[in-house]
A and B are shown apart, each in its own frame.
Chain A
Amino acid sequence: DQQVKQNSPSLSVQEGRISILNCDYTNSMFDYFLWYKKYPAEGPTFLISISSIKDKNEDGRFTVFLNKSAKHLSLHIVPSQPGDSAVYFCAASRMDSNYQLIWGAGTKLIIKP
């Protein structure tokens, strides 16, 4: 039973345009959400997070939106750059076990020059 789902295995976006990566979750006990970026042969790198008490968090070119009623979050990257090409993972944690992350399967983002 996948509690965190990333339904798009891959996404191709033109350089300079907006990239939107989506993530859905099923467990209403999740209260913290994170996005990680992963390059081949490297470990995941933390990108941005959002607490369930917020609906938006912004950090430079990266913005995460949370819609709790829909149990949906999205990561917006604008403008997209070639270095953004990587696999992006959505992850979530519960308040009662906040060290343990539940991960989606990832979306491979390809930025076309």
Chain B
Amino acid sequence: GAGVSQTPSNKVTEKGKYVELRCDPISGHTALYWYRQSLGQGPEFLIYFQGTGAADDSGLPNDRFFAVRPEGSVSTLKIQRTERGDSAVYLCASSLTRTGSDYGYTFGSGTRLTVV
């Protein structure tokens, strides 16, 4: 597609449940990023993929969070035993390169996760 696609756009889940959030990057973009944006704050880095591998997952808050990108394209962010504090907008972005001079990050519209 022309842009970064994230599904679902909204997800309401009960505390303790497992959720998966999907990101379809722009075709050909090797770099993929997940960020989380809580209400009234800027996005916070979660994880960065270069190709299939997670080059940096230092932003994942704890071991309930995991992300994969098995074929170097679509990525899935997985959250186990969800907590109310996980409620946020989860943003995915992709880019052709990761160099500092080329921040051609294209963001998706995000998935709004609400844990009740």
Mark A residues whose CB is within 8 Å of B: 4, 6, 31-32, 34, 41-46, 49, 51, 89, 91, 93, 95, 97-106
Contacts and interface: CB of A to CB of B under 8 A. Distances in A.
Nearest to A102: B45
B114 interface: no
B59 to A, nearest CB: 8
A100 B56 contact: yes
B40 interface: yes
25 contacts: A34-B103, A41-B109, A42-B109, A43-B107, A43-B108, A44-B91, A46-B103, A49-B103, A89-B43, A91-B42, A93-B100, A95-B100, A98-B99, A98-B100, A99-B31, A99-B98, A100-B45, A101-B35, A101-B43, A101-B45, A102-B45, A103-B43, A103-B44, A106-B41, A106-B42
Interface in B31-62: 31, 33, 35, 40-45, 48, 55-56, 59
B100 A43 contact: no
Nearest to A93: B100
Interface residues of B, number: 28
A51 to B, nearest CB: 7
Chain A CB count within 10 A is highest, among B41, B98, B100, B107, for B100
B70 interface: no
Contacts of A104: 42
B110 interface: yes
Contacts of A105: 40-42
Given A43-B91, A43-B110, A46-B105, A99 B56 contact: yes
Contacts of A100: 45, 48, 56, 59
